[in-house]
Amino acid sequence: MKYYTLFSILFFFSIFLNAQTSEINNSSEKTTYSVTFNADIEGAINSGSFVIGADQLWVGGTMNDWTIPGVDPLYEMTESQYEGVYTTTEELENGDYEYKYFMIHHGIPSWEYGEWPGSQNRTFTVNNDNIILNDIVWPDPWGEVEGNDKEFVEIYPNPSKGIFIVETCRQAVSFQINDITGKPVYNSRSSNHNTIIDISDHAPGIYFLSLFTEKRSITKKVIIQN
């Protein structure tokens, strides 16, 4: 009888220890959230300071202990579906982070080609939710009108606070604006050469304005700032 009682005590004690161990292991599994970095470097591409195919774009910061850019492949950015926009998504825990973008020339790891010298960094906070960061890096001061497109469409002001004018050489034009994820946020049709568009109720970031006529279509980048 005593043997049976001792066996029962040891049996239930082992169950208790297993439960405690499982609880400790579960508590050590920290929750992470997706953080997507979208960097618009069209200005650097247009100016020739970033050469597609020869140069790479990396993001670094406190999330990877400021590992020298060009070393940690998790933080190399790749071309997105949008021209001039590079992207990467990382899984991060709740907290405050600092970061900055870096060019890597010819695959050589270096701190030399950051956005700017010194300790002034971009910041973001993960707080129980996935987030998307839309950043303009090395902006092009000449705006969105370039090449032969100037004869077809002008967008101004751009960047704006969400209210801007689209000037076209054709009167019958349809408009669609998508956000960085490809979700449509605006649709309209105009019979005027000058059209005022208001998307100021949407979050700051990068948007893509597509214009359609019977013979052609064109997509231009639109930037909303605070």
Q: In this predicted model, what pLDDT tens digit does every residue of 10-52 receive, in sequence order?
A: 555 566 566 655 555 554 578 999 999 999 988 888 767 788 8
Task: Give the per-residue pLDDT at 135.
Answer: 87
- Phi/psi of residue 197, nearest 5 degrees: -115, 135
Which residues have CB under 8 Å from 115's CB, separation 6+? Answer: 100, 101, 102, 137, 138
**Same-domain pairing of 17 and 40:** no
Task: Give the per-residue pLDDT at 115.
Answer: 82
Closest CA to 109 of 76, 87, 135: 76
Domain assignment of residue 142, yes or no: no
**Same-domain pairing of 101 and 127:** yes
Regions of the chain with pLDDT less than 70: 1-28, 47, 117-118, 139-152, 170-172, 214-217
Distances (CA, A) of 201 to 34, 107, 158, 175, 195: 25, 41, 16, 17, 18
Query: What is residue 64's three-state secondary structure?
Result: helix
**Same-domain pairing of 37 and 132:** yes
Task: Give the per-residue pLDDT at 175.
Answer: 86
Task: Give the per-residue pLDDT at 90.
Answer: 96
**Same-domain pairing of 192 and 220:** yes
Distances (CA, A) of 134 to 12, 19, 74: 55, 44, 19
CATH number, domain containing residue 60: 2.60.40.10
- Nearest-5° angle of CA 16, CA 17, CA 18? 90
**Same-domain pairing of 109 and 184:** no
**Same-domain pairing of 119 and 160:** no
**Same-domain pairing of 37 and 107:** yes
**Same-domain pairing of 113 and 158:** no
The H or E element that residue 45 is part of is helix 42-47
Which residues have CB under 8 Å from 166's CB, separation 6+? Answer: 153, 154, 155, 173, 175, 190, 194, 195, 197, 209, 211
Task: Give the per-residue pLDDT at 13.
Answer: 56
Domain assignment of residue 141, yes or no: no
Task: Give the per-residue pLDDT at 24.
Answer: 52
Number of domains in the chain: 3
- Domain hosting residue 20, numbered range: 1-30
